[in-house]
Structure 1
Amino acid sequence: MTIATRDLRAATREELSGTGYDLLVIGGGILGIAVTWMACQAGLRAAMVDAGDFAGATSSASSKLVHGGLRYLQNGNLKLVAENHRERRALGADVAPHLVKPLQFVVPIYRGGPHGAAKLGAGVFLYSALSAFGDGLGRLITPRQAVAKVPALRTDGLRAAAVYGDHQMNDSRVAVMTVRAAVDAGAVVLNHAEVVGLRTRSGQVCGAELRDRLNGSEFGVEARLVLNATGPWVDRLRRMEDPGAAPSVRLSKGAHLVLRRDEPWKAALTTPIDRHRVAFAIPWEDHLLLGTTDEAYEGDPAEVRATDADIDQILAEAGLSVRTDRLRREDITYAFAGLRVLPGGPGDVAAARRETVVTRGRGGMLSVAGGKWTTYRHIGRHVLNTLSRLPGRPLGDDLADILPAVPLPGLASPDAVAMRLWTDREPGARMEPLVARHLATHYGTIAFDLARLIREDPALGERIHPGGPDIWAQAVYARDHEWAATVDDVVRRRTTLTVRGLDTPQVRERISALLT
């Protein structure tokens, strides 16, 4: 770590240990981040810690979608789909239009497939109607029209296709921006800070003992309420409070692949696999994202990864609708896996409800797990309202049910930001169009802060790797303003180097030197 980073972490540890908080959130995945952000918007004094990096596990291993949930229609859950659509539109229009963008999806209909044209046509029409046709009209199209949108589409046996609209994002960047929003609202946060014990007073949890995993120093945090938002580790922390606590969740692994793409796609593919599952093929970060699997997982959450069997399955399922010459193993740049946290109980995990699990321990610690990216703000508000209803109402009254459209930092039109970066006439500040577009869609107006770094040091405008658009200013900004303390923090979650397969040993070595 640089001296500045060490000093900042030391100051944060001192602030955490010397201040009493209304709420301590343990876990910096998107659920914990959302609760922290909402708590600070409500005027509470909140702190958040994570044993790894923010969004370092499942929250950065998603399918990168902000969606209404097309498959929920077959369960008759129209209200849920409509609610998801409202939040999806809010994120794409008012909260994070610089990070969340619309994307059209094509559902190919093959002879002998699990769903017929009439059913899918009616389904996507209803789906678009529940979104008030904000993304156009869900409808059936011809095979020729489908191929025009997805040139790699397999056409043998293709009878028709359905189209509908949703949104996509870079989940890591949305998470980092939401952490920044929480800090701007008053939160104190620290990553790479592991809970080694819980503080109790009169049998009630009142804080935590922590260890900074980067330098080994130990410190404590006091809080009136402690929230366990550790995702796949939720039961592990519950057993710190109560060694006899019964399991509350089960885990399902979802693996994905990222492949180089030979040609531009105008839409993504949603391929039905069976009654409960679909496979996605999504144009993302100039690559192709494939997935996902859905199988029970009982191992160590820290060891979850995409196996050879996962890769075989994902390629085989993608091959149901994508031409196999576009699914070459040698084009895989990255394989990753995350864990869905599901309610405990019997049955196939693929059919399990994707709902938030909330429990309260005998020491008063509230534990929450599950949920989905699309509704992360609503889940944060729901958890905060649950906290406010605990005995004694220690956090005050319920918050309003309607979420204000508080924007994430950098709110702007990506097109406007990219154009300004590209046409900047200041010496040394003008960027090539690809880099300008990349910064605009990952930072919004914060890209102008990166441009200022480049004006001060033109070398920071150079690409980190010639095969991708990430530049050295991003690594410096991640270190100084986005809590990046390790190489993985930079290459996997603050930039797109890892997903593009560009985090070479040489790149990692140079970034390590930058962080030291």
Structure 2
Amino acid sequence: MTVKAHQNDTTSSRARTREELTRGTFDLLVIGGGILGTSVAWTATQAGLRVAMVDSGDFAGATSSASSKLVHGGLRYLQTGNVRLVAENHKERRSLASDVAPHLVNPMPFLVPIYKDGPHGAAKMGAGVFLYSALSAFGDGMGRLLSPAQAHRLAPGLRTDGLKSVAAYSDHQMNDSRMAVMSVRAAVDAGAVVLNHAEVVGLRSTRGRVTGADLRDRVGGQEFGIDARLVLNATGPWVDRLRRLEDPDAAPSVRLSKGAHLVLKTPEPWRAALTIPVDKYRVSFAIPWEGRLLLGTTDEEFTGDPADVGVVQSDIDQILGEAALGIDAPYLDPAHISYSFAGLRVLPGGPGSSSTAKRETVVTQGRGGMLSVAGGKWTTYRHIGRTVLEELRRVSAVPLAEDMADPLRTVPLPGLASPDAVAQRIIIDRDPGARMDPLVARHLASHYGSLALDIAALVREQPELGERVHADGPDIWAQVVFARDHEWAVTADDVLRRRTTVTVRGLDTPEVRRRTEELLQG
């Protein structure tokens, strides 16, 4: 592939951003650009605050892009009687799917296989999925029982040996990396100033109060500082490490649990996901995702360096073993694994195992006034932003816009549009002699919404950018250029793992990586 020369302004763009970050005093400095940081930055800018957000790696570069890719009510929470939580999750799930990000959040049928020797009976699961559907006001239809034959047509690998019945319900899934990037873009559109690959090397203080941070740009090595009236520590698994920069004697506030996932190739596409009961409380998922099957997850206490988290052989054995409770063995050949990843859940400190700890958001304030936030999940990430904003209102004098009263304002993410309409427009807009493959057009529309039209425009200007990154996947080289120029992508991993679907499909070859790095250099 030959691409026209392009003057890469990444270096100058980062220099301009660093200069803006050093100008004046921000109302809020958010350290950490994962679920929590992006949500708070987006919400706070909507409230009228001048916000800066930095991350030592890429936005959503750690656990926030290593989730199970679900936006769900949490069927398993009914087991513990937490009906209110399920209802709240459903409400936010439907808001994301209908008003905030319908171009990124997609409906997905889920099946719960019920076996003769399984932990749940058909009557109990049938009642459970009916209640689950009722708590969402039957917005996705009614939970019901299916025959094994009906279920097998939706999930071809479903194990039918000993299968009595299958409970069916509906939830949603999303590409967590794309959700994160669009949330960052929403925050920037609202006025936030952001920079990834910028590492905090120290905190600034004034009369004992934390009033900013000193940083190093990991791309060029430049050092700079940011002044802020309030600093928020949203660094996920590293939350206690940053707290100790404020107070060397700070006691641990959280504990970590590792969640590992596998991505497998399948001989045919699945049209439904499986929620496989492992025991009375735990489940394992098998979810169609990006043309593959996503399996997981684990829940194991982690005490090492968060930077070292990864998938090990015992994780693979556990995930495949638990999946085998509901999936035929030929589908679970380790040779079919195209990708694996692991993230760390940040849980409140306390007694008991990590598997029994509550998945809740914890906000604390250190002796230097820095706020620290930990926990949470994608389904309720907007509410987390609101929770932290209320805490900001309580502990500081930063002015908030009057129209930030409850309930949450429904502000859509960038790109809001019907993927079907966008895909059709991309195809129609192309010259008859150079029509874009409908599969590629649909892929762009379902990952970028209306912003896919900007990528199509790049292809019109430089047709060679319409070539596929890899022959076996739908991503094209124009996405790499778009990621570089509009989505803060700096490294090949930024692009291949988080801005596109190349890595998860097992298509991240040395040649693909080389060409990606060339484009990133301009």
The TM-score range, normalised by the shorter chain, is over 0.9
The DSSP-based 3-state class of the residue aligned with 2:373 is: strand
Partner of 1:128: 133
What letter is aligned with 1:51? S
Query: Equivalent residue for 1:159?
Result: 164
Match of 2:276 in 1: 271
**Aligned partners of 1:391, 1:292: CA distance in 2, in Å?**
39
What SS is found at the alignment partner of 2:360?
Answer: coil
8 A contact 2:236–2:375 mirrored in 1: yes
Amino acid of the residue matched to residue 112 of structure 1?
D
Q: 1:110-259 to 2 correspondence within 5 Å?
A: 110-259=115-264
Flag as ranges the 4+ runs of structure 1 deviating above 4 A. 391-398
- 1:405 matched to 2:410? The reply is yes
- Structure 1 residue 327, shift from structure 2 partner: 1.2
Aligned to 1:504: 509
- Residue aligning to 1:354: 359
- Residue 457 of structure 2 is aligned with which of 448, 452, 459? 452
* Equivalent position SS for 2:395: coil
The 2-side partners of 1:2 and 1:229 are apart by 35
Q: Does 1:75 align with 2:76?
A: no
Determine the structure 2 residue equivalent to 1:468.
Answer: 473
* Per-residue deviation, 1:397: 7.2
Report the alpha carbon displacement of residue 24 of structure 1 after superposing the two structures with TM: 0.3
Partner deviation per Cα, 1:267-301 (whole Å, 9 max, x = no partner): 10000112331100000001000000000000000
Does the CA contact (< 8 Å) of 1:427 and 1:455 recur in 2?
Answer: no
2:443 counterpart letter in structure 1: H
Query: How many Å separate the matches in 1 of 2:453 and 2:396?
Result: 47
CA distance in 2, matches of 1:120, 1:398: 43
Match for residue 492 of structure 1? 497
1:379 to 375, 384, 390: 384
Q: In the alignment, is the contact (CA less than 8 A) between 1:54 and 1:175 conserved in 2?
A: yes
The TM-score, its normalising length taken from structure 1, stands at 0.98
CA distance 1:396–1:367, change in 2 (3 Å): farther
2: CA distance, partners of 1:86 / 1:99:
17
Q: Determine the structure 2 residue equivalent to 1:4.
A: 9
Per the alignment, residue 328 of structure 2 pairs with: 323
CA distance, structure 2, for counterparts of residue 392 and residue 88 of structure 1: 33
Aligned with residue 16 of structure 1, among 17, 21, 25: 21
CA distance in 1, matches of 2:213, 2:295: 40
1:371 counterpart SS class: coil
> What is the rounded CA distance, in whole Å, between the counterparts of 1:319 and 1:418 in structure 2?
37
* Residues 1:42 and 1:429: Cα distance change in structure 2 (over 3 Å): farther
Given the superposition, is the C-alpha separation of residues 425 and 191 from structure 1 closer, same or farther in structure 2, using an over 3 Å criterion?
closer
1:416 aligns with 2:421: yes
String of CA shifts for 1:80-102, please: whole Å, max 9, x gaps.
Answer: 11111011001111111110000
Q: Deviations over 1:160-216 (max 9, x none)?
A: 010110000000001001100100000000000000000000100000000001111
The alignment-based identity, stated in percent, is 72
- Kept in 1, the 8 Å contact 2:49–2:398? The answer is no
Normalised to the residue count of structure 2, the TM-score between the two structures is 0.97
Give the unaligned 5+ runs of structure 2.
Answer: 1-5
Contact 1:388 1:398 in 2 (8 A): no
Measure how far apart 1:463 and its partner are. 0.1
Whether the aligned pair in 2 keeps the contact of 1:276 and 1:351 (CA below 8 Å) is no
Match of 1:280 in 2: 285
Equivalent of 2:71, from 60, 66, 73? 66
Deviations 1:126-158 (A, max 9, x none): 000000000110111111111121111000110
Moved more, 163-172 or 391-400: 391-400
Contact persistence 1:421–1:429 (CA under 8 A)? no
1:314 aligns with 2:319: yes
The answer on whether the counterparts of 2:35 and 2:378 sit within 8 Å (CA) in structure 1 is yes
Q: Is the 8 A contact 2:258 2:343 kept in 1?
A: yes
User: 1:2 offset after TM fit, Å?
Assistant: 6.6
| One-letter identity of the residue aligned with 1:128 | S
Question: For the Cα contact (< 8 Å) 1:68–1:88, is it kept in 2?
Answer: yes
1:438 aligns with 443
The answer to which of 103-112 and 425-434 deviates more is: 425-434
Secondary structure (helix, strand or coil) at the match of 1:389 reads helix
Question: How many Å apart are 1:3 and its aligned residue?
Answer: 4.3
Letter in 1 for 2:442: R
- 3-state SS, counterpart of residue 22 of structure 2: helix
User: Distance in 2 between the 1:392 and 1:471 partners?
Assistant: 48
Who is 1:294 aligned against?
A: 299
Equivalent position amino acid for 2:123 in 1: A
Distance 1:281 1:352 in 2: 24
Which of 328, 342, 346 aligns to 2:347? It is 342
Residue aligned with 1:18, SS = coil
Q: Which amino acid is 1:223 matched to?
A: A
Match of 1:477?
Answer: 482
1:34 is aligned with what amino acid? S
The 2-side partners of 1:186 and 1:376 are apart by 20
Structure 1 position 84 matched with structure 2 position 117: no
Q: What stretches of structure 1 of length at least 5 have no aligned partner?
A: none
Distance between the aligned counterparts of 1:460 and 1:215, measured in 2? 28
TM-fit CA distance, 1:399: 3.5
Q: Residues 207-259 of structure 1: CA distance to partner in whole angstroms, max 9, x if unpaired?
A: 00000011111000001000000000000000000000000000000000001
RMSD of Structure 2 on Structure 1 (CA):
1.4
